Structure 1
């Protein structure tokens, strides 16, 4: 996208972006905003516009992703907080939307690590078992070294390295533009946490009654990968999505969901200890950066 395009009107561009983290409740929060009368979100969660492969689609494509008319526009793409997998995202967001508000939902980093592993496994990705994963030598490389699925342990570990992710955004945005939301607080005390989110965005306070169940994202993880790709990438899939309500989409997911693989992939205490050790320094740095205690976390 050239500079002339970047200077186009920002009409129908988002006021806020939920950047992740993956497997930390972003789907439920996106669906909550879908029900908020002041907010219009993208028809499909995760447009991923600011990832290099999608950025060339242009502003007209991005604007077309937002459904309905509303005072506020927002989107949620957890891939935006994978700076080691998809570099350059914070810079692209700032270039187009320097005043945008950013929501970063985080979860116990070890639990999130295990959840992403199981999610990817259920979707058909070929991953080594936990023992082999956690025997991977070496620390995370410097930011800028792209971590693909050829390095699955470090790939997943970097997504749980919240300070590492946040630093990439603080190179371009003021901390006052970023709200960190704790997954555990969102579901243990939803009313106060949603008030905090809505106050940050300048929205009218609504109650938590519309907050979707945590099980919704779990159902997505059980839908066969070829079906997900068809729904996401084909013209027919897009046509059907645009005509389905949230409730209908949920029912369809449940109808086609498959059981999780019968082979067990258990993370033993020794495996979890390795993950905790590798995430400890980053997690403590994240506490310092956000001035949040995260008391319920395992690190």
Structure 2
């Protein structure tokens, strides 16, 4: 995301919505293992966003973490990357690269955003 891709009006800034912007680091998906690999030389996403948009106000919409994990598991099954025969528990533990459990650790990621964006500019909604 960069400031050129954001539409500015007199009253608000309209940007993008993504389920992965909340998470602090972008994983390197194209590795051969089932593990998640990160390039720690890159700054965390909240830092990148606030460098471009220092006065940003954000809305974070969170889903029940169990429902979110089940939905992610179904997603990976529909894409054919995992088999329904393995079961959610096995896939979540043995294939961390899919981030089925990690994406539900909301508190961990929220703390990182709060280092860069003051609490009064963060609205958290739970559905």
Given the two structures, how large is their TM-score scaled by the length of structure 2?
A: 0.69
Runs of 4+ in structure 1 deviating by more than 6 angstroms, as ranges, are none
User: Structure 1 unaligned runs (5+)?
Assistant: 1-48, 50-57, 137-149, 184-299
**2:81 corresponds to:** 126
Say if 2:96 is the partner of 1:151.
Answer: yes
Say if 2:122 is the partner of 1:181.
Answer: no
Whole-Å Cα distance in 2 between the matches of residues 69 and 170 of structure 1? Answer: 26
Whole-Å Cα distance in 2 between the matches of residues 95 and 161 of structure 1? Answer: 25
**1:97 corresponds to:** 53
Q: CA deviation at 1:96?
A: 1.2
For residues 220-299 of structure 1, the aligned pairs below 5 Å read none
Whole-Å Cα distance in 2 between the matches of residues 166 and 92 of structure 1? Answer: 15
Larger radius of gyration: 1
Given the two structures, how large is their TM-score scaled by the length of structure 1?
A: 0.32
Whole-Å Cα distance in 2 between the matches of residues 168 and 83 of structure 1? Answer: 7
| Greater share of helix | 1
User: Structure 2 unaligned runs (5+)?
Assistant: 28-42
Q: What CA RMSD, in Å, does the superposition of the two structures yield over aligned residues?
A: 2.6
Whole-Å Cα distance in 1 between the matches of residues 93 and 58 of structure 2? Answer: 35
| Greater share of strand | 2
Q: CA deviation at 1:168?
A: 1.2
* Distance change in 2, residues 1:135/1:97 (3 Å): closer
Report 1 or 2 for greater relative contact order, CA contacts < 8 Å, sequence distance ≥ 6. Answer: 2
